[in-house]
Structure 1
Amino acid sequence: MPRRQAGFTLIELIAAFVIFALGFGVLMQILGGALRTTRQSAEATQAALYAQSLLDIQGIGEPLKEGGSSGDFDNTYHWQLNVQRYQIQAAPGSTMAPAMNTPGQPELFQLELVVSWGNQYLQHHARFVTLRSMMPPRNGNQLSNGLPPGFG
Protein backbone atom coordinates (compact mmCIF):
# COMPACT_ATOMS: atom_id res chain seq x y z
CA MET A 1 0.00 0.00 0.00
CA PRO A 2 1.29 3.39 -0.90
CA ARG A 3 1.97 5.71 1.95
CA ARG A 4 -0.41 8.62 2.38
CA GLN A 5 1.19 12.11 2.44
CA ALA A 6 0.59 14.24 5.54
CA GLY A 7 -0.93 17.73 5.04
CA PHE A 8 -4.04 19.83 5.35
CA THR A 9 -7.25 19.06 3.55
CA LEU A 10 -9.08 21.63 1.48
CA ILE A 11 -11.80 21.97 4.13
CA GLU A 12 -9.23 22.67 6.84
CA LEU A 13 -7.64 25.39 4.69
CA ILE A 14 -11.02 27.03 3.99
CA ALA A 15 -11.94 26.95 7.69
CA ALA A 16 -8.59 28.55 8.63
CA PHE A 17 -9.08 31.26 6.00
CA VAL A 18 -12.63 32.04 7.25
CA ILE A 19 -11.38 32.34 10.85
CA PHE A 20 -8.56 34.63 9.70
CA ALA A 21 -10.97 36.81 7.67
CA LEU A 22 -13.41 37.15 10.59
CA GLY A 23 -10.62 38.10 12.99
CA PHE A 24 -9.20 40.61 10.52
CA GLY A 25 -12.67 42.16 10.00
CA VAL A 26 -13.19 42.58 13.75
CA LEU A 27 -9.75 44.16 14.08
CA MET A 28 -10.50 46.63 11.27
CA GLN A 29 -13.77 47.66 12.95
CA ILE A 30 -11.97 48.27 16.23
CA LEU A 31 -9.30 50.37 14.52
CA GLY A 32 -11.94 52.32 12.56
CA GLY A 33 -13.81 53.07 15.78
CA ALA A 34 -10.60 54.24 17.45
CA LEU A 35 -9.85 56.59 14.53
CA ARG A 36 -13.40 57.99 14.61
CA THR A 37 -13.18 58.57 18.38
CA THR A 38 -9.80 60.25 18.00
CA ARG A 39 -11.17 62.59 15.30
CA GLN A 40 -14.20 63.50 17.44
CA SER A 41 -11.94 64.18 20.40
CA ALA A 42 -9.71 66.45 18.30
CA GLU A 43 -12.77 68.36 17.03
CA ALA A 44 -14.13 68.85 20.56
CA THR A 45 -10.70 70.00 21.77
CA GLN A 46 -10.50 72.53 18.92
CA ALA A 47 -13.98 73.82 19.83
CA ALA A 48 -12.92 74.22 23.48
CA LEU A 49 -9.77 76.11 22.47
CA TYR A 50 -11.76 78.45 20.24
CA ALA A 51 -14.30 79.00 23.04
CA GLN A 52 -11.59 79.75 25.60
CA SER A 53 -9.95 82.30 23.29
CA LEU A 54 -13.26 84.07 22.65
CA LEU A 55 -14.39 84.07 26.29
CA ASP A 56 -10.97 85.32 27.47
CA ILE A 57 -11.28 88.58 25.54
CA GLN A 58 -14.84 89.42 26.61
CA GLY A 59 -14.94 92.58 28.73
CA ILE A 60 -11.31 93.42 27.99
CA GLY A 61 -10.80 96.71 26.17
CA GLU A 62 -14.50 97.44 25.92
CA PRO A 63 -17.36 96.97 28.38
CA LEU A 64 -19.65 93.97 28.29
CA LYS A 65 -23.04 94.70 26.75
CA GLU A 66 -26.13 92.62 27.24
CA GLY A 67 -27.34 90.88 24.12
CA GLY A 68 -26.28 88.32 21.59
CA SER A 69 -23.69 88.07 18.86
CA SER A 70 -22.44 85.38 16.52
CA GLY A 71 -19.67 84.68 14.07
CA ASP A 72 -17.31 82.13 12.56
CA PHE A 73 -13.93 80.96 13.79
CA ASP A 74 -13.24 79.38 10.39
CA ASN A 75 -15.22 77.54 7.71
CA THR A 76 -16.01 74.71 10.12
CA TYR A 77 -16.54 76.24 13.58
CA HIS A 78 -19.28 78.79 14.31
CA TRP A 79 -20.23 80.55 17.55
CA GLN A 80 -23.13 82.29 19.25
CA LEU A 81 -22.56 84.37 22.39
CA ASN A 82 -25.27 85.61 24.74
CA VAL A 83 -24.40 88.10 27.51
CA GLN A 84 -26.83 88.99 30.29
CA ARG A 85 -26.66 90.45 33.77
CA TYR A 86 -26.53 87.79 36.45
CA GLN A 87 -28.63 88.14 39.58
CA ILE A 88 -27.61 86.12 42.61
CA GLN A 89 -30.60 84.09 43.77
CA ALA A 90 -31.38 83.27 47.38
CA ALA A 91 -31.02 79.60 48.27
CA PRO A 92 -34.29 77.61 48.26
CA GLY A 93 -35.89 77.72 51.70
CA SER A 94 -33.71 80.67 52.74
CA THR A 95 -35.32 83.67 54.44
CA MET A 96 -32.63 86.01 53.12
CA ALA A 97 -33.49 88.35 50.27
CA PRO A 98 -31.48 88.12 47.03
CA ALA A 99 -28.35 90.26 46.99
CA MET A 100 -28.79 93.65 45.36
CA ASN A 101 -26.10 95.52 43.47
CA THR A 102 -24.88 98.43 45.52
CA PRO A 103 -23.06 101.41 44.01
CA GLY A 104 -19.35 100.78 43.56
CA GLN A 105 -19.71 96.98 43.69
CA PRO A 106 -18.82 94.84 40.67
CA GLU A 107 -21.66 93.73 38.41
CA LEU A 108 -21.87 90.09 37.35
CA PHE A 109 -22.53 89.07 33.76
CA GLN A 110 -23.30 85.58 32.56
CA LEU A 111 -21.68 84.66 29.26
CA GLU A 112 -23.14 81.68 27.40
CA LEU A 113 -21.21 80.56 24.34
CA VAL A 114 -22.35 77.82 21.96
CA VAL A 115 -19.77 76.54 19.49
CA SER A 116 -21.09 74.37 16.64
CA TRP A 117 -19.35 72.40 13.91
CA GLY A 118 -20.05 69.58 11.52
CA ASN A 119 -21.94 69.16 8.26
CA GLN A 120 -25.59 69.25 7.26
CA TYR A 121 -26.08 65.63 8.30
CA LEU A 122 -24.32 65.65 11.65
CA GLN A 123 -24.01 68.80 13.76
CA HIS A 124 -22.06 68.97 17.01
CA HIS A 125 -22.56 71.64 19.68
CA ALA A 126 -20.57 72.54 22.77
CA ARG A 127 -22.00 74.94 25.36
CA PHE A 128 -19.79 77.00 27.66
CA VAL A 129 -21.17 79.18 30.48
CA THR A 130 -19.15 81.44 32.74
CA LEU A 131 -19.51 84.54 34.90
CA ARG A 132 -17.53 87.74 34.43
CA SER A 133 -17.44 90.65 36.88
CA MET A 134 -17.20 94.25 35.74
CA MET A 135 -16.97 97.41 37.78
CA PRO A 136 -19.92 99.76 37.21
CA PRO A 137 -19.50 103.00 35.24
CA ARG A 138 -17.07 105.55 36.66
CA ASN A 139 -17.91 109.17 36.04
CA GLY A 140 -21.01 107.96 34.25
CA ASN A 141 -19.36 107.01 30.97
CA GLN A 142 -17.19 103.89 30.98
CA LEU A 143 -17.05 100.52 32.68
CA SER A 144 -13.88 99.30 34.31
CA ASN A 145 -12.53 95.80 33.90
CA GLY A 146 -11.81 95.56 37.61
CA LEU A 147 -8.09 96.38 37.27
CA PRO A 148 -6.44 99.23 39.17
CA PRO A 149 -6.07 102.53 37.26
CA GLY A 150 -3.33 102.37 34.66
CA PHE A 151 -3.66 98.58 34.16
CA GLY A 152 -6.77 98.43 32.02
Structure 2
Amino acid sequence: MRQCRVQGFSLLETLAAMFLLALCFGALMQAAGASMALNARAADYTQASLWARGLLDRQFVSEFPSVGAHAGQFDDTYRWNMTVAEPASEAGVRTSMPMRLYRIELTVAWREKGKDASARFVTQRTVSDVPPRDVPRQGDG
Protein backbone atom coordinates (compact mmCIF):
# COMPACT_ATOMS: atom_id res chain seq x y z
CA MET A 1 0.00 0.00 0.00
CA ARG A 2 1.11 3.42 -0.82
CA GLN A 3 0.78 6.21 1.60
CA CYS A 4 -0.60 9.43 0.24
CA ARG A 5 1.04 12.46 1.80
CA VAL A 6 -0.89 15.72 1.75
CA GLN A 7 1.20 18.74 0.77
CA GLY A 8 0.75 22.01 2.72
CA PHE A 9 1.85 23.99 5.73
CA SER A 10 1.84 22.67 9.22
CA LEU A 11 0.07 24.46 12.04
CA LEU A 12 3.43 25.51 13.51
CA GLU A 13 4.57 27.09 10.22
CA THR A 14 1.28 28.96 9.89
CA LEU A 15 1.53 30.32 13.46
CA ALA A 16 5.13 31.43 12.87
CA ALA A 17 4.11 33.27 9.68
CA MET A 18 1.22 34.99 11.46
CA PHE A 19 3.50 36.04 14.32
CA LEU A 20 6.03 37.50 11.86
CA LEU A 21 3.24 39.32 10.02
CA ALA A 22 1.94 40.80 13.29
CA LEU A 23 5.46 41.97 14.24
CA CYS A 24 5.96 43.70 10.87
CA PHE A 25 2.50 45.27 11.00
CA GLY A 26 3.18 46.63 14.51
CA ALA A 27 6.50 48.14 13.39
CA LEU A 28 4.81 49.78 10.38
CA MET A 29 2.06 51.26 12.56
CA GLN A 30 4.65 52.65 14.97
CA ALA A 31 6.55 54.26 12.08
CA ALA A 32 3.31 55.72 10.68
CA GLY A 33 2.40 57.17 14.09
CA ALA A 34 5.84 58.74 14.49
CA SER A 35 5.57 60.18 10.99
CA MET A 36 2.21 61.77 11.80
CA ALA A 37 3.61 63.29 15.01
CA LEU A 38 6.59 64.74 13.13
CA ASN A 39 4.24 66.12 10.49
CA ALA A 40 2.17 67.90 13.15
CA ARG A 41 5.32 69.32 14.73
CA ALA A 42 6.58 70.52 11.35
CA ALA A 43 3.23 72.24 10.78
CA ASP A 44 3.64 74.12 14.09
CA TYR A 45 7.14 75.27 13.12
CA THR A 46 5.92 76.29 9.67
CA GLN A 47 3.12 78.37 11.20
CA ALA A 48 5.60 80.00 13.60
CA SER A 49 7.89 80.77 10.68
CA LEU A 50 5.06 82.37 8.70
CA TRP A 51 4.07 84.55 11.68
CA ALA A 52 7.71 85.59 12.18
CA ARG A 53 8.22 86.38 8.51
CA GLY A 54 5.15 88.61 8.46
CA LEU A 55 6.24 90.47 11.58
CA LEU A 56 9.83 90.92 10.38
CA ASP A 57 8.66 92.09 6.94
CA ARG A 58 6.54 94.80 8.57
CA GLN A 59 9.47 96.11 10.61
CA PHE A 60 11.01 99.28 9.19
CA VAL A 61 8.26 99.51 6.56
CA SER A 62 5.10 100.56 8.35
CA GLU A 63 5.98 100.05 12.00
CA PHE A 64 9.40 101.42 12.85
CA PRO A 65 10.47 99.59 16.04
CA SER A 66 12.33 101.35 18.78
CA VAL A 67 15.51 99.90 20.22
CA GLY A 68 14.67 97.60 23.13
CA ALA A 69 12.44 94.65 23.94
CA HIS A 70 8.96 94.21 22.51
CA ALA A 71 6.38 91.46 23.01
CA GLY A 72 3.01 90.54 21.66
CA GLN A 73 0.70 87.77 20.61
CA PHE A 74 -0.27 86.66 17.10
CA ASP A 75 -3.32 84.61 18.11
CA ASP A 76 -4.45 82.39 20.97
CA THR A 77 -1.59 79.95 20.33
CA TYR A 78 1.48 81.89 19.16
CA ARG A 79 3.20 84.72 21.05
CA TRP A 80 6.39 86.61 20.28
CA ASN A 81 9.29 88.45 21.93
CA MET A 82 11.48 90.75 19.87
CA THR A 83 14.70 92.53 20.77
CA VAL A 84 15.90 95.39 18.56
CA ALA A 85 19.47 96.57 19.10
CA GLU A 86 22.04 98.78 17.42
CA PRO A 87 25.53 97.29 17.30
CA ALA A 88 28.41 99.20 18.84
CA SER A 89 29.61 102.08 16.69
CA GLU A 90 32.99 100.43 16.08
CA ALA A 91 31.20 97.34 14.73
CA GLY A 92 29.32 99.41 12.16
CA VAL A 93 30.11 99.37 8.46
CA ARG A 94 31.23 102.66 6.96
CA THR A 95 29.27 103.66 3.86
CA SER A 96 28.95 106.80 1.75
CA MET A 97 25.26 106.97 2.70
CA PRO A 98 24.31 107.71 6.31
CA MET A 99 22.69 104.47 7.43
CA ARG A 100 21.89 102.75 10.68
CA LEU A 101 22.18 99.03 11.25
CA TYR A 102 19.72 97.25 13.51
CA ARG A 103 19.87 93.68 14.81
CA ILE A 104 16.47 92.08 15.32
CA GLU A 105 16.10 88.90 17.35
CA LEU A 106 12.62 87.39 17.31
CA THR A 107 11.41 84.38 19.29
CA VAL A 108 8.02 82.85 18.51
CA ALA A 109 6.70 80.56 21.27
CA TRP A 110 3.71 78.23 21.60
CA ARG A 111 2.47 75.24 23.63
CA GLU A 112 2.82 71.84 22.02
CA LYS A 113 1.16 68.93 23.83
CA GLY A 114 1.55 70.66 27.18
CA LYS A 115 5.20 71.59 26.60
CA ASP A 116 6.71 74.92 25.59
CA ALA A 117 8.11 75.09 22.07
CA SER A 118 9.79 78.01 20.33
CA ALA A 119 11.59 79.08 17.18
CA ARG A 120 14.23 81.84 17.08
CA PHE A 121 14.87 84.14 14.13
CA VAL A 122 17.70 86.68 13.86
CA THR A 123 18.18 89.28 11.12
CA GLN A 124 19.83 92.61 10.51
CA ARG A 125 18.26 95.59 8.79
CA THR A 126 19.67 98.87 7.60
CA VAL A 127 17.75 102.12 7.60
CA SER A 128 18.82 105.30 5.87
CA ASP A 129 19.16 108.37 8.06
CA VAL A 130 18.23 110.50 5.04
CA PRO A 131 14.48 110.67 4.31
CA PRO A 132 13.60 109.41 0.81
CA ARG A 133 12.91 111.97 -1.87
CA ASP A 134 9.62 111.92 -3.70
CA VAL A 135 10.05 109.63 -6.66
CA PRO A 136 7.80 110.41 -9.62
CA ARG A 137 5.49 107.55 -10.51
CA GLN A 138 4.86 106.38 -14.04
CA GLY A 139 2.10 108.33 -15.69
CA ASP A 140 2.80 111.47 -13.63
CA GLY A 141 3.64 114.44 -15.81
Determine the C-alpha separation between the residues in 1 that align with 2:81 and 2:20: 52
Q: Which one has the bigger helix percentage?
A: 2
Q: 1:62 to 1:18 in 2, by over 3 A?
A: closer
Determine the C-alpha separation between the residues in 2 that align with 1:34 and 1:87: 46
Q: CA deviation at 1:130?
A: 0.9
Q: CA deviation at 1:70?
A: 1.3
Q: In the alignment, which residue of structure 2 is the partner of 1:94?
A: none
RMSD across aligned positions (CA) = 2.6
| Structure 1: stretches of 5+ with no match in the other structure | 90-97, 139-143
Q: CA deviation at 1:64?
A: 2.7
Paired residue for 2:109, among 102, 107, 116? 116
Q: CA deviation at 1:61?
A: 2.8
> Could you say what secondary structure the match of 2:49 adopts?
helix
Contact 2:81 2:106 in 1 (8 A): yes
Do residues 149 (structure 1) and 133 (structure 2) align?
yes
Structure 1-normalised TM-score? Answer: 0.73
| Structure 2: stretches of 5+ with no match in the other structure | 136-141
Do residues 56 (structure 1) and 25 (structure 2) align?
no
Quick one: which amino acid aligns to residue 133 of structure 2?
P
Quick one: which amino acid aligns to residue 82 of structure 1?
T
Do residues 127 (structure 1) and 120 (structure 2) align?
yes
Contact 2:92 2:101 in 1 (8 A): no
Q: Percent identity?
A: 36
Q: 1:99 to 1:132 in 2, by over 3 A?
A: closer
Structure 2-normalised TM-score? Answer: 0.78
Determine the C-alpha separation between the residues in 1 that align with 2:109 and 2:92: 35
Q: CA deviation at 1:21?
A: 0.2
Determine the C-alpha separation between the residues in 2 that align with 1:25 and 1:62: 54
Quick one: which amino acid aligns to residue 20 of structure 1?
L
Q: 1:133 to 1:114 in 2, by over 3 A?
A: same
Runs of 4+ with >6 A deviation: none
Q: In the alignment, which residue of structure 2 is the partner of 1:92?
A: none
